[in-house]
Structure 1
Amino acid sequence: MKKLIIAALACYGLSARAQMHESKNFLYLYSDSVIYAKKIMLRPDFAGYWQLRADSRRVPTEQVKFFNNEEGFFANTRKLHLGGLSSFSERIIDGRINVFQEMTYDPFFDNRGPRYMDRRQSRVDLRMYYNKGYGNLKKVNYNNLKNDMSDHAESMDLLKGYKKSMNTSKIMYTAAAVSVIAGIVSFLAADKKVDSSFPGHFGDRTSGMNTSFSDYTPSLIMFGLGLGFTAGGYVIQTSGSRHLERAVDAYNR
């Protein structure tokens, strides 16, 4: 039965990748067949599962690798998720390397198709996907991009800058965690010291805390260092992400 369905879809569409026209609406199947249609819509069925309609035909989403309609160009990310459930990401960068951003579908629809609750991001990050041509999607990360950009020296240099920034930010975040933990330990030790020095009524203890503020100074310093390391790690990480985006832009020029 499955073979008959695939054969019928192949007859309805085209099998030659070279004949594709992205100015038209189409479904690109995992079988490398292409189905052109006047209107393609992504809609949930009665059970809440997503389905694709090409004119009057219903096409199972697990068979569709890409689809193109008035809303944009979308890729199926099901092979990159546990469980293999179909989920579509929109292409936000088109070039030798295409970048896709996963979005959350708005349950309220209109005649033009599904709308998206999330806005497109301007910066390439590790939550995104990419591919070349109509190849399989890959997760955006250093190792994947390094292999696919090895033929472009400028992009490789930018990727090295990205990796260096990420390593530095990890060190900063680790230092922040160590500082906070040290601050908590120091605070508990100081609090115990105040309790032992001023036993009895709550008023006595409050007075003791006021006169023993210096006991808490090391804790405050550690917390301040933790905050500083966290801010520094975030700034370095953000700068490194720009290296990642510039690497993709350089490759696509």
Structure 2
Amino acid sequence: MNEVCKEIAELNMSGNIIPIVWFDNIRYETEQRKNKAYLLAILILSDIVYWYKPYEIRDEQTNKIIEYKQKFSADKLQKSYSQYADFFGSTKIAVKRAFDFLAEFPLIIREFRDITVNHKRLTNVMYIEPIPRNIKLITTSLQKSKEVKKSKHPPYKKVDTYTEITHSENSHEFKKLKIKKGEQKGYFQYVNKLRKLADRFRNFNKPLVLKFENKLYDFEYQEDGNHLLRNANSKKVLSKSDAETIYKILNHRQIIPIQENINIGETL
């Protein structure tokens, strides 16, 4: 045997496994209409599958498998775009596009939850779950897929001048807020202050919904740490002037009317 082969055989290597066929089946069409493997999406999917593959508990004497255990403690895998950006040396927006692609395929399901950790409320925490049936289809295929995935979220997609909000992805609700770059600072200034002010009066075991002038409002958390103020029923994002008005009035009153008995389905 080749000496290098012998040395490689002695290496104890572990980690993500990427089936070769994924490079044929997880593809997108470029602007020049060329068929390319979506490398970042493939890497992310392989890591998700790694986390969902249980590890073996073996008997010390017989070395037989006695049980399997999952690698994470929650009911679903909790990860963030930032974690994957750091892990793969990429950017958050590139990671998000890859997630959008995988969810559109669909090979994964994303769920965004509001959770409480150490008495601190965290909103829009991402939980990920693979779709085994579809992953099996792209993994056991012995032939190259003839159909190229024409995704709405290719890696080369340009960044627009508006902030795109994706909320309640399980119900496929997509909202867009057009805020020019020069206006973002002023907009988030008022909404973030309003959120901090509301935290002083809220019950952290309940969803944060404000009641102002007989209307209900809630917040949409953004990846950069900012918040958007929305109508709690329609999920329509408020304009800068409306957000500023609500903040100034409530800040002057120094009290936030938190809606305790929430029934978002009611027409106000």
Same fold (TM over 0.5): no
**TM-score, normalised with respect to structure 1:** 0.26
Q: Which has the larger radius of gyration?
A: 1
